């Protein structure tokens, strides 16, 4: 026989300690006569004990620094609201912002000694993928790495948009960091760059290699053209003051 709803409520409230003396007396009278009620109380008590002992997790050690670096002193924060809103607002706005910045930056801050046959394609239509982890196609292979060092922390993700591989960097560094992206395959070439802030990251490209310099909280994307769509790897090396501090490999499993 189902337990009357009123007593289910009293059992739950009793377990939570949110019950009056009168309600408790009523509950006890009910339980004396109801084996089913006692069973429900026992089951729920056991469940709540388990829930109350779930282990607390520690946030990543760098998170506090990333957040503190992101907030400006109060007065400045008010003036710079637009930048932060553009980063953390709705995805469509974020994409639009990235697009706008990307178009400008792709044209202004890249230095490239890349072999001329591998000229830039027009990637402006893809620049928005910098801020969207869901808009690009999923990439087979290792497409997400985490960096968690004292000098630099965050994530790097690889997405695909047709023949373009988009490497999305979301990093915080406490000092200037050089990141070298090596791709030995001659069918891959540097195709563009975009970032969500107007300054702070520089990029230079040559055949098979792109070098980035950054400091602080930065979100930017690197566009590589993968002409054959075949399997490829991009080796990422992170340097602080010329010392290699971390190496990672992103794997592109190829277009099926």
Q: CA-to-CA distance for 90 and 208, rounded, in angstroms?
A: 36
Report 148-167 residues binding another protein (CB under 8 A): 155
Q: Are 161 and 137 in contact (CB under 8 A)?
A: yes
CA distances from 207 to 25, 185, 227, 239 (A): 81, 10, 14, 20
Q: Which stretch binds another protein (CB under 8 A): 11-19, 110-118, 173-181, 235-243?
A: 11-19
Q: Are 164 and 228 in contact (CB under 8 A)?
A: no
Q: CA-to-CA distance for 165 and 137, rounded, in angstroms?
A: 10
Question: For the chain, how many residues are written?
Answer: 256
Q: Counting beta carbons within 10 angstroms of the beta carbon of residue 200, is it exposed (0 to 12), middle (13 to 18) or buried (19 or more)?
A: middle
Residue 49 or 113: the one with the smaller Cβ distance to another protein is 49
What's the min distance (Å) between Cβ of 196 and another protein? Answer: 14
Q: CA-to-CA distance for 175 and 188, rounded, in angstroms?
A: 30
Q: Are 160 and 253 in contact (CB under 8 A)?
A: no
Residue 8 or 213: the one with the smaller Cβ distance to another protein is 8
What's the min distance (Å) between Cβ of 2 and another protein? Answer: 12
Residue 58 or 116: the one with the smaller Cβ distance to another protein is 58
36 contacts another protein (rule: CB under 8 A):
no
What's the min distance (Å) between Cβ of 232 and another protein? Answer: 24
What's the min distance (Å) between Cβ of 60 and another protein? Answer: 6
Residue 21 or 57: the one with the smaller Cβ distance to another protein is 57
What's the min distance (Å) between Cβ of 191 and another protein? Answer: 27
Q: What is the largest CA-CA distance in the chain?
A: 88
Each residue 118-147 as x (binds another protein by CB under 8 A) or -, in order, gives ----------------x-----------x-
Q: Are 178 and 201 in contact (CB under 8 A)?
A: no
Report 40-99 residues binding another protein (CB under 8 A): 43-44, 46-48, 50-52, 54-60, 63-64, 66-68, 70-71, 73-75, 77, 81, 84, 88, 91
Residue 124 or 246: the one with the smaller Cβ distance to another protein is 246
Residue whose C-alpha is closest to residue 169's, from 183, 152, 185: 152
Residue 3 or 109: the one with the smaller Cβ distance to another protein is 3
Q: What residue ranges bind another protein (CB under 8 A)? A: 8-9, 12-13, 16, 18, 43-44, 46-48, 50-52, 54-60, 63-64, 66-68, 70-71, 73-75, 77, 81, 84, 88, 91, 134, 146, 155
């Amino acid at each position: 026989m189902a337990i009357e709803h009123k007593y289910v409520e009293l059992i739950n409230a009793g377990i939570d300690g949110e019950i009056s003396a009168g309600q408790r007396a009523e509950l006890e009278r009910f339980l004396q006569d109801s084996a089913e009620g006692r069973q429900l109380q026992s089951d729920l008590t056991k469940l709540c004990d388990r829930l109350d002992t779930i282990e607390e997790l520690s946030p990543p050690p760098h998170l506090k620094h990333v957040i503190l670096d992101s907030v400006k002193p109060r007065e400045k924060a008010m003036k710079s609201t637009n930048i932060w809103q553009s980063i953390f607002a709705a995805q469509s706005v974020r994409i639009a912002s990235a697009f706008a910045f990307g178009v400008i930056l792709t044209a202004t801050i890249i230095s490239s000694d890349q072999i001329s046959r591998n000229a830039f394609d027009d990637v402006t239509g893809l620049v928005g993928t910098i801020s969207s982890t869901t808009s690009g196609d999923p990439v087979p292979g290792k497409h997400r790495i985490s960096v968690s060092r004292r000098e630099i922390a965050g994530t790097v993700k690889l997405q695909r948009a047709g023949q373009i591989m988009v490497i999305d960097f979301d990093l915080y560094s406490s000092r200037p960091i050089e990141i070298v992206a090596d791709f030995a395959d001659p069918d891959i070439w540097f195709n563009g760059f975009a970032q969500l802030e107007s300054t702070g990251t520089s990029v230079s490209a040559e055949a098979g290699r792109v070098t980035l310099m950054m400091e602080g909280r930065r979100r930017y994307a690197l566009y590589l053209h993968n002409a054959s769509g075949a399997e490829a790897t991009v080796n990422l090396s992170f340097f602080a003051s010329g010392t290699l501090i971390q190496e990672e490999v992103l794997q592109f499993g190829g277009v099926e």
